[in-house]
Structure 1
Amino acid sequence: MFLRSPAALALTLVATLAASTVHAKGPVNGNQAATARYFAQLVGGADAQQSALTMFFTQMPKGGDLHHHYSGALYAEQYVDFLDKQGLCVNKVSYRIETDRKLIDAERALPAAQRSCLSTAELYADDQTYREVLQRWSSKDFNNHGAIQSPPDRQFFQTFGYFGPVSNANFAEGLQTLKQRAILENVSYIETMFKLAPFKGDAAFDSAAWQAGDDAAVDAVLRRQQAALEQDGAFTASINDYVAKIETAASGIDDANFTMRYQAYVLRLLAPSQVFSSMVAGFKAASQSPLIVGVNIVGQESQMVSMRDYALHMKMFRFLKRQYPDVKVALHAGELALGDVPPEGLRFHIDDAVNVGMADRIGHGIDLAHEKNVVALLQKMKQANIAVEINLTSNGFINGISGADHPVTLYRRFGVPFVISTDDAGVTRHDLSHEYTLFASRYRPDYAEVKRLSYASIHYAFLPAKQRARLTVELDGRFARFEAAIAALNANAVRSTRSR
């Protein structure tokens, strides 16, 4: 029920138009020029033609989505469907999923009218509770007279605690949903942050890591802990199990039309020993399976633990990246706005991610204008081809950064590569086409730039060169068909206008 969207109708239009023009004479660059002229009309007026841009980008091949969280990408409606698959229910008061089997069995024994914990079918029948669940589990109605008005960053990050019990299962079905939805909106590749890498706590290491002084002392502490982890058979088994679960879930996803790869991630809100052991697991997993193409760090960056341990986390990444130079690293960095933290907290996060954490890509990067070494940082990112993953809807909702305030304006001006991505499209209820529409309507690029962004999402993917080359060739064909369709559509519109 969730895969029937306007994107399907748009793709049908493209297929119909492309079929009628694929054998037409004339060079492909003529279609490209016609598409560029048509696009210029959509963004060239006093106000961008939002509806026409939505139709345009729903049809346009968008290459890949490189900043994508699996659990946040599925819509809350599907998580409600998953309840019955696991025999779970939702509490009518807290709107949280009950997992206590004795409580669930007791609820099932009650008459339906007396139950306070609802199954999927019961939740659908109770529209008031169902609508409240959607508001708690996503941003639905937040800016549309919704009753829940907690701060938007808390609204966003708290959703994961609501649907966590079902998002941590049903992986095969969830991935298939994301695949089909991507195909419908002409996205051929997703690189998703899929599963938290396993970790192990150690209070003695926590104390030693916090007390370590210079970089040499930190490295010494990390080296000892890594050696202990290497000797831990249970920890090694947890990594092997982690890899096996990802490979099992990924079975049947890749085909001629679509490719998906997976990032291991660590949670920056945990204790240092848990973060470091999870990093070790992530790097090892990525070195074992070609499906796991990188390591990332997630979690609200403005939280106390995230801010306190940020520099330490970057040193951990540097320590492991030097040992695993072929493992790619994408880091959430600078997902902060003025007022989220004291001003000094905005001064170094992207810089540390690039110059200490050895990031291959940066996620968000919205505190850029506040960074103390911003000029050198921009030059480094441009020269080293460190791309930024731009998430316009997410940045606007969580941090209040949009329009001229968004540093994508600076990245564009100084030639730093970037890609357009979704972040958590299920939570903030949008798709990649919408992100391109926002970019075009706000920043008025020409068609050449948005086409380059589509190709950039393949170029900066954490894939081997041969796989990127294959996806690029496929993208060439998709654009040829798309531009033929748009050229024909525009020509038909011109003929209709002249005949009036």
Structure 2
Amino acid sequence: MHKTLSGAMLALALAGIAVDAGAKGPATKGNEAATAHYFAGLVSGADPKLAELTMFFSQMPKGGDLHHHYSGALYAEQYVDFLDKQGLCVNKTTYRIETNKAVIDAERALPAAQRNCLSSGEVYADDAAYRELLQRWSSKDFRNHGAVQPPPDRQFFQTFGFFGPVSNANFNEGLQTLKQRAIAENVSYIETMFKMAPFSTDAGFDARAWQARDDAELTALMRSQLAQLNQDAGFQRTIDDYVAKIASAAAGIDDDKFTMRYQSYVLRLLAPSQVFSSMVAGFKAAGQSELIVGVNIVGQESQMVSMRDYTLHMKMFQFLKAQYPNVKVALHAGELALGDVAPEGLKFHIDQALALGHADRIGHGIDLAHESNVLGIMKKMREADIPVEINLTSNDFINGVRGEAHPVTLYRKHGVPFVISTDDAGVTRHDLSNEYMLFASRYKPDYAEVKRLSYDSVRYAFLPEAQKQRLKRQLDVRFGKFEADIAALDRQRTAPAR
């Protein structure tokens, strides 16, 4: 058999990945056609076959997940496990994690029945407390019961404050969990927004940034601030430490079956000097480490600071992208729906992320239909091959955008590239297979489109071309096996009864 395989395919075979030596022959084309026939039967009619689609996509190879937040991807159950690892406990009244050692020691001295701060085991033993914790730390039960609860966007963003003390540690163990979960659902690559880049504070910069009379004055201010940061040895040490921590967390994650890369990010809710210095750190870190493949901006887009400083942040990206042209940028932009903000706030976010922020990918992009330059946006993204990262569960839960109201319908119609991704699968309790299932059941694509989406999630990864080609070859082999299995299932389904 080895004489019929290319060197790359032989390596995959020796690594234990099934290889069809005739991967481009008639049998493979026949299997692909049979898979397309089987898939068409799942999405046809008024009621798509959801259970069968879930099975189909759980088995289907999915190249990658490109819009992925590390802290929001881990399920709350794992964060409970981390409590004991860090010697912490969770207050069963507030469901906040207690980090004060004196309080923890005092609680542990009490009889178990009197303790208000619970260890991992005590949380699991108290079913009422455990259930309440899951409802506070994730979206569990949000839509299937009638309890008084906060609005969904508040519910979503508040979860990070609950599990923050344990999400900021145990990084390698958390990444290993995400890796094994990805492999189990046939995902070969994750590009995760991992850690916020370090920042510094300068009140003088804050005042001048808000008061700048024009772009020339703002650019001069940013140039002066960048020069100061470049000369600040302490600031550089925080960047070096940041890069080292990511390298340590990433140890042992990559192998022949799975690859993970990391985006640094800034928080759009901070003061201008903090956002700018964090951006500088993120761009510099990406230049220092091959593991860090891009820079992003996160935080609820509808909050007051995010809206007030949105254009300022995009101009910061514009300035730094010119200083670091080889660093990739993915931007959360247009994660807004009608009613989230005043109508004028829906008119420009995606447009500025492209024109000012020089985004290589757009995250969410759900206010598209409201943007003043909607046709120009779609033309630019189509012609410049800039994809949008589609997060169906997240957009439904946080913003109430679903079905035909979701702008994926516009992106598809106008030829804008897009990828399917998860956002915060641990908070909203789903996985990438579910996102493909939602896309297929709602929008009735053919198999060729969903297969292309899997490959596009590698094509648009922030990876060197050689690494993308390696992942593509792995996908070729995995799809060969998958389509052979589905073709056999299709023949079994359509075989005449005896």
Summarize the Cα distance change of 1:148–1:97 in structure 2 as closer, same or farther, 3 Å threshold.
Answer: farther
Mapped to 2, the partners of 1:21 and 1:231 lie a distance apart of 56
Residue equivalent to 1:50 = 50
Q: Which amino acid aligns with 2:114?
A: Q
Could you tell me whether the CA contact under 8 Å between 2:19 and 2:481 is conserved in 1?
Answer: no
What do residues 49-97 of structure 1 show as CA deviations (whole Å, max 9, x unaligned)?
1110000000000100000000000000000000000000000110000
| 1:354 and 2:351 are equivalent in the alignment | no
Is the partner of 1:27 in helix, strand or coil?
Answer: helix
Matches within 5 A, 1:324-343: 324-343=324-343
Residue equivalent to 2:320 = 320
Residue equivalent to 2:235 = 235
Mapped to 1, the partners of 2:214 and 2:374 lie a distance apart of 24
Summarize the Cα distance change of 1:22–1:60 in structure 2 as closer, same or farther, 3 Å threshold.
Answer: farther
Mapped to 1, the partners of 2:31 and 2:426 lie a distance apart of 35
TM-score after normalising by structure 2: 0.95
What do residues 422-474 of structure 1 show as CA deviations (whole Å, max 9, x unaligned)?
00000000000000000000000000000000000000000001000110111
| 1:345 and 2:349 are equivalent in the alignment | no
Residue equivalent to 2:201 = 201
The Cα shift of 1:21 comes to 9.4
The Cα shift of 1:494 comes to 2.2
The Cα shift of 1:231 comes to 1.4
Residue equivalent to 1:397 = 397
Could you tell me whether the CA contact under 8 Å between 2:287 and 2:327 is conserved in 1?
Answer: yes
The Cα shift of 1:252 comes to 0.3
Could you tell me whether the CA contact under 8 Å between 2:20 and 2:477 is conserved in 1?
Answer: no
Residue equivalent to 1:443 = 443
Is the partner of 1:188 in helix, strand or coil?
Answer: strand
Residue equivalent to 2:99 = 99
Residue equivalent to 1:11 = none
Mapped to 1, the partners of 2:477 and 2:188 lie a distance apart of 12
| 1:499 and 2:497 are equivalent in the alignment | yes
Mapped to 1, the partners of 2:44 and 2:189 lie a distance apart of 30
Residue equivalent to 1:124 = 124
Is the partner of 1:63 in helix, strand or coil?
Answer: strand
Mapped to 1, the partners of 2:20 and 2:145 lie a distance apart of 46
Mapped to 1, the partners of 2:232 and 2:118 lie a distance apart of 43
Is the partner of 1:252 in helix, strand or coil?
Answer: coil
Residue equivalent to 1:407 = 407
Could you tell me whether the CA contact under 8 Å between 2:18 and 2:477 is conserved in 1?
Answer: no
Matches within 5 A, 1:14-413: 26-145=26-145, 147-413=147-413
The Cα shift of 1:217 comes to 1.1
Summarize the Cα distance change of 1:471–1:325 in structure 2 as closer, same or farther, 3 Å threshold.
Answer: same
The Cα shift of 1:23 comes to 9.1
The Cα shift of 1:146 comes to 5.6
Is the partner of 1:297 in helix, strand or coil?
Answer: strand
Summarize the Cα distance change of 1:21–1:255 in structure 2 as closer, same or farther, 3 Å threshold.
Answer: closer
Q: Which amino acid aligns with 1:374?
A: V
Q: Which amino acid aligns with 1:451?
A: K
Mapped to 1, the partners of 2:269 and 2:146 lie a distance apart of 29
Is the partner of 2:309 in helix, strand or coil?
Answer: helix
Mapped to 2, the partners of 1:235 and 1:108 lie a distance apart of 40
Mapped to 2, the partners of 1:332 and 1:20 lie a distance apart of 39
Which stretches in structure 2 are left out of the alignment for 5+ residues? Answer: 1-16
Could you tell me whether the CA contact under 8 Å between 2:261 and 2:293 is conserved in 1?
Answer: yes
What do residues 140-161 of structure 1 show as CA deviations (whole Å, max 9, x unaligned)?
0000116352100000000000
Mapped to 1, the partners of 2:175 and 2:392 lie a distance apart of 24
Residue equivalent to 1:416 = 416
Q: Which amino acid aligns with 1:102?
A: A
Could you tell me whether the CA contact under 8 Å between 2:199 and 2:277 is conserved in 1?
Answer: yes
Q: Which amino acid aligns with 2:432?
A: L
Mapped to 1, the partners of 2:131 and 2:20 lie a distance apart of 45
TM-score after normalising by structure 1: 0.95
Residue equivalent to 1:489 = 489
The Cα shift of 1:27 comes to 2.0
Mapped to 2, the partners of 1:326 and 1:19 lie a distance apart of 37
Q: Which amino acid aligns with 1:499?
A: A
Could you tell me whether the CA contact under 8 Å between 1:142 and 1:148 is conserved in 2?
Answer: no
The Cα shift of 1:234 comes to 1.1
Residue equivalent to 1:432 = 432
Residue equivalent to 1:8 = none
Summarize the Cα distance change of 1:20–1:360 in structure 2 as closer, same or farther, 3 Å threshold.
Answer: closer
Mapped to 1, the partners of 2:232 and 2:211 lie a distance apart of 25
Could you tell me whether the CA contact under 8 Å between 1:135 and 1:148 is conserved in 2?
Answer: no
Mapped to 2, the partners of 1:29 and 1:149 lie a distance apart of 52
What do residues 161-195 of structure 1 show as CA deviations (whole Å, max 9, x unaligned)?
00000000000000000000000000000000000
Summarize the Cα distance change of 1:209–1:21 in structure 2 as closer, same or farther, 3 Å threshold.
Answer: closer
Summarize the Cα distance change of 1:19–1:330 in structure 2 as closer, same or farther, 3 Å threshold.
Answer: closer
What do residues 109-132 of structure 1 show as CA deviations (whole Å, max 9, x unaligned)?
111111000000011111100100
Summarize the Cα distance change of 1:228–1:100 in structure 2 as closer, same or farther, 3 Å threshold.
Answer: same
Could you tell me whether the CA contact under 8 Å between 1:21 and 1:485 is conserved in 2?
Answer: no
Q: Which amino acid aligns with 2:351?
A: D
Which stretches in structure 1 are left out of the alignment for 5+ residues? Answer: 1-17
Is the partner of 2:62 in helix, strand or coil?
Answer: coil
